[in-house]
Amino acid sequence: MNDKHYTYDEFKISSEKYKNVEFEAALEHTGFGKYNLALIFVCGLTLFGVNSEAYAVGYVLPSAECDLELDTYMKGILTSTNFIGITGTCCMWGYLSDTKGRKSVLTISLILAFVSSVAASFIPSFWGFAILRFCNGIFIAGPSAIVYAYFGEFQSRIYRSTAMAWMSLFIALALITLPGLGWALLPQHIHFQLFGLPVTSWRIYMFLISIPNLVAAIAFLKLPESPKFLYHSGQIEEAFDVLKRIYTINTGKPESTFPIESLQEKVIYQVDTSKKKNILKDFWGQIAPLFVPPHLKYSLAAGVMQGGVFAVSSGLLLWYPDIINQLSHSASANSSATVCQALSNVHSDNETLVACVEDNINDQVFIQNIIIGVAYLVSYVVWGFVVNFLGNRNFFGVCMVVSAVSLVLLNFLTEKVVIDVLFVVLLTLPGICVAVINLIMVEIIPTYLCGMAVCVVMTAGRIGSIVSSSVVGIMLLWNCAVTFNLYAVNLLVCLLLVFIFPRNST
């Protein structure tokens, strides 16, 4: 084995070729170029699609209220069905990605997500819509987590954090596109029948946000399997061929000039192709190592952290359009009142409102959410620039402290502009940290467990989102100030847990 340490400066090609090279060292020689940029686009488009599917329902509820005859209970069902589907099946997708490969799971699940979303867009009944949105949640569960493992396994350690930040920019683009498209389309009074199916503005909206998943699935058909997955599953030559292909696309030089002659033959996980294997036993064998030392503390810490940041960035975000809509219709919205005082007045007034008003959504809802999307965009760019010298752990800590302080300040401040800024901050920064936690897990967990590990912590995150979105409305009615303070404490707990991870992995 050649023990030579490869650095960025050694990216230049020499006549000497290295033999029996470890995978990470060989990956560094592929450089960073056109192939990585194409991968950022395809994997980013995947994040764009799955996040659009997850959050779109929050925008269509006011428009669909009359069409589907929704009450508060039914709105709660629609808000949570997608996330329940994601939560219940994410580990299954993680198992499949670690045993069958990343690429096939991503491709199949994205196609199924597209089909279920299109079907849901035009089904006329509430329960049909709810069931299909649940199925859609099942299918986006895989790519929403596995794409992080797939993408990270193509990036050398030098570029991994920065590349992950650039890929995550597409989440911000989704959060900008959703309210932007909604603002343009949802207020339009579109009503007609197509082949006996109802077509309205909100149904067209749901159809349009499903298209990126189909485009991403087609793109994955052209991409190879993760070379790191191939390498650690014993397919050494296949992994080597992928590395040479990346090198050629990035540098424009022929594969024959790739400075690595052979990879170290090191098999960590052998894929079982037996048709008679026990699936449940195999599944347990895949997930169990994450909950015994040395991975136990990392799995538990990352799960709690992901649940905590999802509770704010996703659970609270799902109610944010409704909160803004209520405040905008309140007579006290522009008076000297805190958020809790204003919400209290709105809830009192709404007790007398019983009539359904189609498209009853204020423009301020769209404007504020576009601002949040832009804030995500800026935050991901900042993460990409500062991560190499600040580190993921310190960046995570700063985000948690600033968000917690913002939540507490909501109890005292009355200036509308300041309140808007605080909401943007507290919803954005924890959302950025979802990708930070996933990156930490990709760095620290072995490849043969990586897909499952990311799915496990994302499942914990979705549970946090479901619990949060299910109770936040009731909690705000019960005691608004205590609700914001509890969310702040939750983020400070996440801050403490990040220090469980070793410094050199973050």
The whole-number pLDDT of residue 12 equals 43
Cβ–Cβ under 8 Å, residues 228 and 265: no
Sites in the chain below the pLDDT cut of 70: 1-16, 72, 266-279, 321-322, 325-337, 343-362, 504-506
Q: What confidence tens digit (pLDDT) does each residue in 415-467 have?
A: 778 888 888 899 899 988 988 898 888 888 887 787 788 888 888 888 888 88
**Residue 136 Rama label (left phi>0; alpha psi -120 to 50; beta):** alpha
Cβ–Cβ under 8 Å, residues 18 and 261: yes
The whole-number pLDDT of residue 330 equals 56
Residues 6 or more apart in contact with residue 148 via CB below 8 angstroms: 164, 435, 438, 439, 442, 454
The whole-number pLDDT of residue 9 equals 46
Cβ–Cβ under 8 Å, residues 109 and 161: no
Helix, strand, coil percentages in the chain from 3-state DSSP, rounded to 5: 75, 0, 25
The whole-number pLDDT of residue 336 equals 67
Model-level pTM?
0.79
Helix (H) or strand (E) holding 415: none
The whole-number pLDDT of residue 329 equals 59
Query: What is the rounded CA–CA span in Å between residue 99 and residue 213?
Result: 23
The three state secondary structure string of 453-487 is: HHHHHHHHHHHHHHHHHHHHHHHHHHHHHHHHHHH
Amino acid (1-letter code) at residue 168? S
State the Cα angle at 168 between 165 and 174, rounded to 5°: 150
450 closest CA partner among 270, 162, 229: 229
25 closest CA partner among 230, 234, 228, 270: 228
Q: Which pair of tokens denotes residue 298?
A: 């990392």
State the Cα angle at 245 between 240 and 251, rounded to 5°: 125
Cβ–Cβ under 8 Å, residues 225 and 217: no
At 21 the three-state DSSP class reads strand
Q: Residue 260 phi/psi, 5° resolution?
A: -110, 125
The whole-number pLDDT of residue 258 equals 87
